Amino acid sequence: MQQTWWPWFALIGLGLYHGLNPAMGWLFAVALGLHRHSRLTVLMSLLPIAAGHALAVGTVAMLVIGAGLVIDHALIKTATGVLLIIWAIYHLFYRGRHRLRIGMQTGYAGLLAWSFLMAAGHGAGLMLLPVLMPLCLPAVPSLPDAGPSTPLLLAFAAVGLHTVTMLLVIGIVSILVYDWLGVGFLRTGWINLDLLWSIALLGTGILVFLI
Q: Residue 74: is its pLDDT beyond 50? A: yes
Domain boundaries in the chain?
A: 2-210
pLDDT digits (tens, 9 = 90+) for 11-41: 999 999 889 888 788 888 888 888 888 889 8
Does 100 have pLDDT greater than 60?
no
* pTM for the whole structure: 0.77
Which stretches within 21-72 are classed as H helix? 26-36, 39-70
Within 10 angstroms of residue 36's Cβ, the number of other Cβ atoms is: 14
Task: Show Cβ contacts of residue 196 under 8 Å, excluding neighbours closer than 6 positions.
Answer: none
Residue pair 162/128 in contact (Cβ under 8 Å)? The answer is yes
Confidence of residue 146 (pLDDT cuts 50, 70, 90): very low
What are 58-69's pLDDT values in tens digits?
998 888 878 777
Which of 11-20, 111-120, 177-186, 198-207 comes out lowest in average pLDDT?
Answer: 177-186
Q: DSSP label at 24?
A: G
Highest mean pLDDT of the ranges 128-137, 159-168, 190-199: 159-168
pLDDT of 111 higher than 50: yes
